Amino acid sequence: MPITYGRPLLDEIVLDYGPLDVLSRCLMAGDAIALRHGIQLSFATLETLGDVNYDHRDSWPPLTPTYDPGVWRGDEQNAFAIVGRNAEGEIVATQAARIFHWSPRTNFGKEAEALRIFYRDPGADANRSERCDVSAQGAFGLTGRVALSGGIWIRPDYRGRRLTELMGRMGRAYALGKYDIAYNASVMTEAVCSRGLWRLAGYTRIEQWLEWHNTRLGAHVRLGLMWMSVPELFVDLGATLLGAPERRGGMLRPERDTDIVDRRA
């Protein structure tokens, strides 16, 4: 079913994989938390994500090409963006992910070194001398369906409300239920990693490094790698969206689980 962009997130979510009760409650709890902050969540196109990024370069560095629809032509079904709008309709929070479907013969590390986590066709879109050297050994164990999450941004006047934590977890919960991912991964620049934002995003590990050279973002970009397995993702979602006492008041009633449905039949 095609997504109607701009409608409330819960009206558009379709989960194909479970456990549906847990993921439904996570997504509804997260949506309620956002509403308590005066923010309405919805899906958005990657074009919209790019426009917001361009308009807010003073507080948000350029996105990696992983989320550039211009270099991922024909692969729209394997990416999504979630945005949060305030009462004035302004986008004040964003999150995105791209889903990769890798056979056992390849993995995140190999695909990064081939630049295929950044470009669908590196030969056409990467710079001639562009390369990525991977020393983060965990990258070579990530295979199967992998979500590469990124594009998290909170407008400066909305920071300090734990929205970074919320947006990342909403994206991970949706990726689990829509794409049946085996891992969720993210990369952050060395400067961002040094500020501990990877912990704020909910990750418990960081590995060094992906050394990305001669890119459109700079001559040398050093990226830390964070990742979670499915059991770790469910532990984190249960302990945060469902488990934190201060958030229980924002949860919707369990009987509304059917609002987010399994439509495989």
The 10s digit of each residue's pLDDT in 244-265 is 443 333 332 333 333 454 433 3
The count of other CB atoms within 10 Å of the CB of residue 249 is 9
Segment holding 183, helix H or strand E: strand 183-189
Catalogue all structural domains in the chain, each as residue range(s) with its CATH number: 9-254 (3.40.630.30)
Q: The tokens of 31 are what?
A: 């949506």
pLDDT digits (tens, 9 = 90+) for 189-207: 999 898 888 888 889 899 9
**What pLDDT was estimated at residue 200?**
80
Q: Which of 98, 194, 195 is nearest to 148 (CA)?
A: 98
**What pLDDT was estimated at residue 63?**
95
**What pLDDT was estimated at residue 243?**
73
Q: How far apart are CA 48 and CA 29, in angstroms?
A: 25
**What pLDDT was estimated at residue 205?**
92
- Which residue numbers in the chain have pLDDT < 50? 244-259, 261-265
pTM: 0.91
Calculate helix-pair angle for 20-36, 163-179, nearest 10 degrees. Answer: 150
Residue with tokens 């495989």: 264
